[in-house]
Amino acid sequence: MLLVILVLMIGGAIFSLEARDLLSAVVAYGIVGFGLVICFLILQAPDLALVQIVVETITLIIMVAVILNSTRKELGVKWASKTVAYIVGSFVFLILFMYFFEKVTSVLSVFGEHLLRMSEAYIEPGAKDTGSANLVTGVIFDYRGYDTLGEATVLFTAVMGVLTVMRLKGRKEE
Amino acid sequence: MKGMTIIVKKVSEILCGVIFLYGIYIVLHGHLTPGGGFAGGVIIAGAFILLIIANGSEKVSLKRKETGTSFTESGAILAFLAVAASGMVVGTVGLFFKNYLPKGHIGRLLSAGFIPVYNIVVGIEVSAALITVFLAFVIFREEVLK
Amino acid sequence: MTVYFLCLILFLVGLYGVVSKRNLIKIVIGLAIMEYSVNLFLILIGYIKGGTAPIISGLAKFKKFVDPLPQAMVLTAIVIGLATTALLLAIAVRIYRKYGTFDVKEIKKLKG
């Protein structure tokens, strides 16, 4: 089940990158995000599915707004003289990357067999330490509070960046 | 941004309140059921975005200004810091992010000390941030059309 | 193991988009796909067969749970991802207003 949805997501990603029209590229990008929602539901993460389904919708709305305000045309493909060298180079990179990925994942256990040893420290005393029945919320706001504070700061900075970039004229001129 | 037809306006008028209430429910029950500040804040922002898309930006009394939501966001993140720093004052051993309220019975609405407070603050912050981002794009479009 | 490899392939598809495309919107889409695949990989590490979502109720007290730590990390990362994607799109829009094109190479040529 998980494999089928992952293959569908890869297909959607490839089509989204190769589409000739930017609007259809954005719609195909939606396949990846909504497929991820189903993956989260299968992997027993309902909190993440709840966030991802709304976030994906808002992302699609913003992307469609941007594209309808500018252009829908995709640029033509130009074959440079060094294309063969690029293809060979990327294949070498791909083989190296696969080799090291195999090395790394052989350290991890087989998928779905064991948890990391660290998880016992969060699962067993989690409810008693934090008093929260939802362990994810307990981890976010109690064990890992500094992390959440940092993420909130990053969110604030990103929003300030959007406002600074999008403003056409300064506030004092009005 | 101009509004849509009257059918869309009526339906969004009915739906928006329900979505907003659902977001508040998700925020308040974040320590008992799936959800929490991040999920609920995103849902509340989605309700406002639906209202803006359906009715146009003038109708929601936002008046092409993003200062209100921006102030709300900054205030929420300051409140987060203040609640976290209040743990340094209370008790013999002061710790940042100290959860000194009574934990209560697991599974009740009033339990888990400061976690519901953090949930509410983060929910306000996330929803205000996303509405600000969306309003910035709307303002850009209006300035281009002018 | 196959799941991990499919996740890697999704990451590589996003990397291909970032490296080889000339359109700024396609580059943003590639970055977002990479981010999604990393999120999925973290959740895959924390999964155990037969485990339930990490929420304690009266019935499921002694069952197995999946790991709550990666879920907590990814939960914040998703919301941050939306904000950073919006920031990238804002920069792309401003470049379009200034130069009239999304093409990266054209923008490089126009540098005066």
* Residue pLDDT, tens place only, A107-126: 877 777 777 777 778 877 77
Rounded Cα gap, residues A21 and A74, in angstroms? 6
C79 in Cβ contact with C39 (< 8 Å): no
3-state secondary structure chain C: CHHHHHHHHHHHHHHHHHHHCCEHHHHHHHHHHHHHHHHHHHHHHCCECCCECCECCCCCCCCCECCHHHHHHHHHHHHHHHHHHHHHHHHHHHHHHHHCCCEHHHHHHCCC
Note the pLDDT of residue A78. Answer: 66
Strand extents, DSSP E, chain B = none
Domain coordinates in residue numbering, chain C: 2-48+65-109
Cα angle value A23/A24/A27 (rounded, 5°): 95
CA B120, CA A44: separation in Å to the nearest integer? Answer: 25
Find the CB nearest B42 among C57, C79, C86.
C79
For chain C, give the percent of residues with pLDDT over 70: 92
Q: Which two tokens stand for residue A109?
A: 């256990």
Name which of C45, C89, C95, C105 to mutate to probe chain A: the one with the most chain A Cβ atoms within 10 A of its Cβ: C89
Give the separation between CA C14 and CA B135, rounded to whole angstroms. Answer: 29
Say whether pLDDT at A173 is over 60: no
Q: How long, in residues, is chain A?
A: 174
Strand-pair partners of C81: none
Residue C36 has a pLDDT of: 92
pLDDT attached to residue B21 = 92
Q: Could you give the 3-state DSSP secondary structure of residue C103?
A: strand
Q: What's the pLDDT score for residue A168? A: 66
Is B39's CB within 8 Å of A133's CB? no
Rounded mean pLDDT, B90-106: 73
Find the CB nearest B133 among C76, C78, C86.
C86
Range C2-48+65-109: architecture per CATH: Orthogonal Bundle (1.10)
pLDDT at B60 over 80: no
Higher pLDDT, B112 or B13: B13
B-chain residues near C82 (CB < 8 A): 130
Choose among B82, B47, C56, C30: nearest CA to A124.
C56
Cα–Cα dist B127/B45, whole Å = 5
Q: How far apart are CA B46 and CA B114, in angstroms?
A: 26
- B65 pLDDT more than 80: no
What is the number of other CB atoms lying within 10 angstroms of the CB of residue C38?
A: 16
Whether the CB of A74 is below 8 Å from some CB of chain B: the reply is no
Token readout for C37 is 């695949």
Cβ C90–B137 below 8 Å, yes or no?
yes
Interface of A with C in 51-110 (CB under 8 A): 51-52, 55, 58-59, 62-63, 66-67, 69-71, 74-75, 94, 97-98, 101, 105, 108, 110
Query: What integer pLDDT is reported at residue A146 of this predicted model?
Result: 85
Distance, CA of B72 to CA of B108 (rounded, Å): 30
- The residue among A141 and A78 whose pLDDT is bigger is A141
Average pLDDT on A166-170 reads 67
pLDDT at C72: 87
When comparing pLDDT for C96 and B66, which is higher?
C96
- φ, ψ of residue B62 in degrees (nearest 5): -95, -25
Closest partner CB to A123 (pick from C65, C72, C89): C65
Q: What is the mean pLDDT of chain B?
A: 80
Cα A162 from Cα B133, distance rounded (Å): 7
Rounded CA-CA distance A62/A79 in Å is 32
Report the candidate in C77, B36, C75, B27 with the shortest Cα–Cα distance to residue A40. C75
**Chain B residues near residue C56 by CB distance under 8 angstroms:** 106-107
Position B61 pLDDT exceeds 60: no
Asked whether residue C61 carries a pLDDT value surpassing 60, the answer given is: no
Q: For residues A7 and C111, which has the higher predicted lDDT (pLDDT)?
A: A7
Which residue in the set A43, A47, A126 is minimally distant from C47, CB to CB? Answer: A43
3-state helix, strand, coil split of chain A in percent (to 5) is 75, 0, 20
C41/C39 Cα distance (integer angstroms):
5
The single residue listed with the structure tokens 């033509």 is A76
What is the predicted pLDDT for the residue at A128? 74
Give the residue from chain A lying closest to C66, CA to CA: A44
CA distances from C26 to A3, A52, A78, A124 (A): 26, 21, 16, 45
Contacts of A126 in chain C (CB under 8 A): 54, 68
Which residues in chain B are closer than 8 Å to C58, comparing Cβ atoms?
107
What subunits touch chain B, counting only 3 or more CB pairs under 8 A? A, C
Q: Look over chain C and give the mean of its residue pLDDT values, rounded to a whole number.
A: 84
Higher per-residue pLDDT: C63 or B73: B73
**pLDDT higher than threshold 80 for residue C10:** yes
Cβ distance B110 to B117 under 8 Å?
Answer: no
At residue A169 the predicted structure's pLDDT band, cuts being 50, 70 and 90, is low
Compare all CA atoms of chain A with the CA of B138 and give the residue at the minimum distance: A65
Q: Shortest Cα distance from C60 to chain A (angstroms)?
A: 11
* Amino acid at position B10, single letter: K
Query: DSSP class of residue A75?
Result: P
What is the average per-residue pLDDT within A31-42? 91
Q: What's at A77, amino acid-wise?
A: V
Percent of chain A exceeding pLDDT 90 equals: 11
Is A52 an 8 Å CB contact of chain B? no
The confidence band for B115, taking pLDDT boundaries of 50, 70 and 90, is confident
**Is A155's Cβ below 8 Å from some Cβ in B?**
yes
* Angstrom distance (rounded) from CA B38 to CA B44: 10
pLDDT band at C49 (very low <50, low <70, confident <90, very high): confident
Question: Which among C55, C78, C93 has CB closest to B34?
Answer: C55
What are C86's two structure tokens?
């919006």
Rounded mean pLDDT, B54-76:
72
Q: Which of B73, B126, B133 to mutate to test the interface with C (most CBs of C within 10 A)?
A: B133
At residue A20, the pLDDT reads 85
User: Locate tokens 């743990």: which residue?
Assistant: B87
CA-CA-CA-CA torsion sign (C14, C16, C19, C25): negative
pLDDT at A92: 92
Gap from A92 CA to chain C (nearest CA, Å): 14
What CA–CA distances, in Å, run from A60 to A26, C50, C86?
7, 34, 11
Q: Are C74 and C43 a contacting pair, CB within 8 Å?
A: yes
Mean of pLDDT values over C39-59: 81
A60 vs B contacts (CB less than 8 Å): none
C23, C64 contact by CB (below 8 A): no
Residues of A in contact with C59 (CB under 8 A): none
Residue of A47, A57, A130 lying closest to B34 (CB–CB): A47
Pair B36, B26: CB distance under 8 Å = yes
For the cut 70, the answer to whether the pLDDT of residue C59 exceeds it is no
**Residues of chain C neighbouring B33 (CB-CB closer than 8 A):** 55
Q: Which helix (H) or strand (E) element contains residue B140?
A: helix B115-145
Does the beta-carbon distance from A29 to C32 stay under 8 Å? yes
Helix (H), strand (E) counts: chain C? 4, 0
First to last CA, chain B: 11
